[in-house]
Amino acid sequence: MAYPEEIKEIWETVKETFRNECSTTAFELWYASIKLSDFNAETNEIVFETDSQFKFNSLNKNHKQKIEERIAEVAGMDLSVSFRFVGRPVDPNELIQRVTGKLPSVSKADPPPPPAPVTPEIAARAKYTFDNFIEGESNRFARAVCMQVAANPYTVYNPLFLYGPSGVGKTHLMSAVINEIRRTKPETRVIYTKGDDFINYMVECLKNNNMAAFRDRYRNCDVLLIDDIQFIAGKEATQNETFHTFQALFDEGKQIILASDRPPKDINPLEERLRSRFEQGLLADINPPNLELREAILQQKAEEMGITIPAEVLTFLAENLRSNVRQIEGSIKKLAAKSFVDERKISLEMAKDCIGDLLGDEEPLSVTIDKIFAAVYKKLNVPKEDIIGTKRNKEIVHARHLSIYLIREITEMSFPNIGKQFNRDHSTTISSYTKIKEQLIRDPLFAADVESIKDEILGK
């Protein structure tokens, strides 16, 4: 690295300004992860490095000007910024060595095997990679184990069972495994199918008395991935053939990856022998994205589509669209289309107009907040107007603190926006939230009461 200490100090100060205004996930994704690499004193150019092609493209397209403007504010002079991509294609042997500690024995004289044929199902998933999968607390473990399986199938985790509600990224991760294996081991025979397609093809083969075709398709592969495996529940013939297919692949050391909306123990009715096969490898759960991860995903989707969304709109969407990534992606597409048709810039009013049908069965954030105020009133007999008002007696202050805590926990609304609900600044809402958390730790009876209030609000 060749840069003076002053440049390092400037960049550290600039990073802190971004840290204070971005979500943690967005800060880590775009600013904390790039490395200060070089400084050209003749051209006043600061050079940063990234090992992600996706980040390199996005930084140049969407963040370069913002970083230069912030550096100029801190440094008091104009300094240009450039980014250097330092990634490289990873040799498959190196990936295997990284996981197993040893290299495979392949004769240098042997010609490389021909690439395996690519099915339409696999070709359709070419855009989903580990690089453009936004990582957060809810999916970090699943992403890590999928990367290990992609680097070294057959020996790490077999079978790998991913589970979580619809739209949280299971199919993206399965596709990323496929694409990484195709990139590093193109000769690998990979089959991807959905649970209902798996069943339908079996029914067709049974009807035509041609189960040999079914077995040929699903047993003559190196990696088998089945999405939505829960659809085989209750189908006796399918479960029997699935068991023998899995057993044949497992005995031959082939990799199996499954995905479901629930863990194996909750797939019913399911034969116990299949359940035990599902559970004998590794189970990795993926939860719905939290607020910060939703903001990062929204930002990424907007950048991929080449549209600009104001920060207040991103926050509004992240706070209201709480179910899954597909819902988030749908909101970006709808906003982009409406902006194009109406020839208007995307605004908060436009987002509010668009969001109704995207919520589906999910209630708007405002309805949830009203439920919280109603539940607190029912429990503590303190009405909403007193909670958001200026009275400071002990009972009202406690109800206010509890309401702030419940809004944050249930809706994941940002502290500044919670503050707006109470006509208070974000530091006050953070203080209220912290006081309730501390009381929950000290007082088990109070913790039980709060859980019952949450259950009532959520309809449990």
Tens of pLDDT, residue by residue over 244-258, are 988 899 888 899 999
What proportion of the chain, given as a percentage, has pLDDT over 90? 28
What is the model's pLDDT at position 227? 94
Q: How far apart are CA 287 and CA 323, in angstroms?
A: 10
What confidence tens digit (pLDDT) does each residue in 287-341 have?
A: 888 887 888 888 888 888 788 888 888 888 888 877 667 777 788 888 888 888 8
Query: Where is 354: in which H helix or E strand?
Result: helix 348-359
What confidence tens digit (pLDDT) does each residue in 129-181 have?
A: 998 898 888 898 999 999 999 988 876 688 999 999 888 899 999 999 999 99
What is the model's pLDDT at position 383? 92
Buried b (16+ CB within 10 A) or exposed e, 43-79: eeebbbbbebebbbebbeebbbeebeebbeebbeeeb
Contact status, residue 442 vs residue 343, Cβ threshold 8 Å: no
- In sequence order, the 6+-apart residues with CB closer than 8 A to the CB of 125 are 171, 175, 178, 179, 192
pLDDT for 241 beyond 90 = no
Helix (H, G, I), strand (E, B) or coil at 129: coil
- Average confidence (pLDDT) over 49-54: 78
Handedness of CA 393, 398, 401, 406 (dihedral sign): negative
Q: How far is CA 8 from CA 15, 75, 76, 400, in A?
A: 10, 11, 15, 44
155 or 270, greater pLDDT: 270
Q: pLDDT band at residue 98, thresholds of 50, 70 and 90? A: very low
What is the model's pLDDT at position 266? 92
- Average confidence (pLDDT) over 221-249: 90
pLDDT for 102 beyond 60 = no
What is the model's pLDDT at position 401? 95
